[in-house]
Amino acid sequence: MAAEASQVNERDAATAQVIDELKALYKEKLLPMEQASKFDYFHTPFMTDAEFDSRPSVLLVGQYSTGKTSFIRYLLGTDFPGQRIGPEPTTDRFVAVVHGDDEHIVPGNALCVAPDLPFRGLEKFGMSFLNKFEGSQLPNKVLENITLVDTPGILSGSKQRDDRGYDFVQVCRWFAERCDMILLLFDAHKLDISDEFRTVIESFKGHDDKIRCVLNKADQIDRQRLMRVYGALMWAMGKVLKTPEVLRVYIGSFWDQPLLYEDLANLFEKEENDLMSDLRDLPRNSAVRKINELVKRARLAKVNAHLISYLKSQMPSFSGHAKKQKELIADLAKVFRTVHKTQNLPIGDFPTDLQAFGAKLTELNFTKFNKIKQKHLDQTEQLLSVDIPRLMEQLPRQVNDSADSRQRPVSDPLTPPDKCFFLR
C-alpha cells in the first residue's frame, strides 16, 4: 500500500508540473496573439491562472425533482450550506459547491472575483445571472479534489425562460465548456425531456465525451420496468444528441433511504462503483482535458487572427471605409471561404455562428484592426506542433491501483457509503 501511495503521489506531482508548464506556455505563446486579434471580444475572455489551477468540476443538469441536490449531498456524505431539497422545484439558482475552511454561502458577485476560483468569465451574463449564482463552501474530503455545480431544475413551458432574466442555455454551455464531466440526471418515473432541457443538451454539442447519464430513483420500480425505462432513455438521448455513440448510463438511487426493491441492490452497488471510479479519475485526467481545451483554443485563435488580418487588408486606403465594411459583413461566408483557402485552415476551426460573429463586427472599426504578425503565428505553430506533444509525453501513465478494482461489499442501504475511497 505504501508503494502504491508513493506512485500515486509521484503521478500527481508530475501532473501538476505539466499544468504549470501549460500555463506558462499560454502566457508566452498564445496570449499575445489573442490580445492582438481581440479574441476576448469575439470568443471567450483571456484565461486566468485559476482556470489552469482549479480543481476538476462536475456539472449536474436535469429537470426539477430528479435528485440533483440529493445526489450532491449523497456524494459529500453531509449537508451543505444553502441546500434545498423537495418534491417541488427547489433549486432556483446555480450553486458551485467548493472546498473551504469553514461553512458559508458566497454571493455570485464575490465568487466571480475570487482569485482562486475560475468563475470570472461569468460576469458577462450580467447582474440578473449573478444574483442567481452562489457558492456553497465547506470543508469536505471530496471537495478537495473536485468542484460540483448544481443547476436550477428545468421546467416545461416558456414562462420560466422568460422570467429568468438571463440566457440559461448559454450559462449551461459556459459551464459545459469548462467542466470535466456533465451528469444528466433523470427520474426513472418521468423520462420526458422538455423543450428547454433538449435545447440545453443540444448546446453541449462538441462536449459529448464529457456527458454521462444518471437514471436516478431506480429502486422504486421493479426489474422489468427498469429494463423498459433504460431502453426508453437510450432511445430518447439518441434522438437528442444525434450520435451513433452510446452514452454511459449509471443506474441507481442516490440518496440515503432504504431501497424499495432490494433485489436490485447488487446492480446499484456495481453501478455506483463505476460512477465513483469515473469521478475518482477526474483529477488525474484533468491535465489531459486542459491540454485538449488549449489546443482547441489555439486553433480558434489562429483562425480569428487570420480573419481580423484579412478584414483589415480589405479596407480601402483613403475613403469608403464604412461602405466596404458593410459589404464584408454582409458576405461573411465569402470571407470565411477566402481565408480558409488562402491560409489552408481547416473549415471546422472557424466560428459556426456567422450571424453572431457579424453582429460583433458591426461594433468595430476594421481600420483599427491589427495585421497578423509572423512571430505570433510561429509561436502558435510551435505550441501546437512541439510544446503540446512534449507535454503529452510528460504526462504520467495510469498506475494500476489494485484498490480501484476491488468491489466494495454491498452496504446497508440506511448507511451513507464512504465516498472518500475515490480520493486515494
Q: What is the tens place of the pLDDT at every residue in 149-180? A: 999 988 765 545 556 788 999 999 999 988 99
| Average pLDDT for 194-200 | 89
| Poorest-pLDDT segment among 136-145, 217-226, 340-349 | 217-226
The phi and psi torsions of 74 (rounded to 5 degrees) equal -65, -40
The residue ranking higher by pLDDT, 257 or 411, is 257
Mean pLDDT (the chain) is: 84
Q: Cell 437510450 maps to which residue?
A: 234
282-313 and 2-25 helices, crossing angle to 10°: 10
Using CA atoms, how far apart are residues 122 and 236, in angstroms rounded to an integer?
31
- All residues at 6 or more sequence positions from 418 whose CB lies less than 8 Å from its CB, including other chains: 77
* pLDDT given at position 217: 86
Of 246, 243, 216, 245, residue with least CA distance to 231: 246
Residue 325: pLDDT over 50: yes
Section 70-99 average pLDDT: 81
Quote the pLDDT of residue 402: 32
Residue 350 to residue 327: CA distance in whole angstroms:
20
Q: Is the per-residue pLDDT at 28 higher than 80?
A: yes
* Contact present, 191 and 131 (Cβ < 8 Å): no
Choose among 401, 391, 423, 382: nearest CA to 15: 391
Residue 3 confidence class, pLDDT cut points 50, 70, 90: very low
- 87 band by pLDDT with thresholds 50, 70 and 90: low
Q: Is the pLDDT of residue 237 over 80?
A: yes
pLDDT digits (tens, 9 = 90+) for 249-275: 999 888 777 777 677 788 888 999 999
Count CB-CB contacts under 10 A for residue 154: 23
pLDDT above 60 for 296: yes
Closest CA to 118 of 83, 149, 80: 149
Amino acid identity, residue 178? R
On the CB side of 200, how many CA atoms lie within 13 Å of its CA?
Answer: 30
Task: Specify whether the CB–CB gap between 215 and 175 falls below 8 A.
Answer: no
The pTM of the full predicted model, rounded to 2 decimals, is: 0.78
- For position 362, what pLDDT does the model report? 94
Alpha carbons 218 and 126: distance in angstroms, whole number: 39
- Tell me the per-residue pLDDT of 354-379, one tens digit each, with 9 for 90 and over: 999 999 999 999 999 999 999 999 99
Looking at per-residue pLDDT, the higher value among 314 and 9 belongs to: 314
Average pLDDT over residues 80-105: 80
Residue 405's pLDDT is 36
CA-to-CA distance for 207 and 179, rounded, in angstroms? 10
The span from the first CA to the last CA of the chain, in angstroms, equals 11
% of the chain with per-residue pLDDT over 70 = 87
Residue pLDDT, tens place only, 341-359? 999 999 989 998 899 999 9
The per-residue pLDDT for 156 is 61
Of the listed ranges 234-238, 267-271, 302-306, 398-402, the one predicted with least confidence = 398-402
**What pLDDT sits at residue 417?**
40
CA 313 – CA 373 distance, rounded (Å): 13
| Average confidence (pLDDT) over 118-132 | 91
The reported pLDDT for the residue numbered 4 is 43
Mean pLDDT confidence for 138-153:
92
- What pLDDT does 86 receive? 56
Closest to 276 (Cα-Cα) out of 247, 256, 250: 250
- Beta bridge mates, 154: 63
Residue 283 binned pLDDT confidence (cut-offs 50, 70, 90): confident
- The span from the CA of 422 to the CA of 146, in Å, is 11
Q: What is the pLDDT of residue 261?
A: 67
Give SS3 for 90: coil
Please return the burial class of 128, using the count of CB atoms within 10 Å of its CB with bins 0-12, 13-18 and 19+.
exposed
Separation of alpha carbons 387 and 18, rounded Å: 11
Predicted pLDDT at 262: 73
For residues 35 and 209, the model is more confident at 35
Instruction: Note the pLDDT of residue 91.
Output: 57
Mean pLDDT, rounded, for 378-384? 96
Q: Is the pLDDT of residue 194 over 50?
A: yes
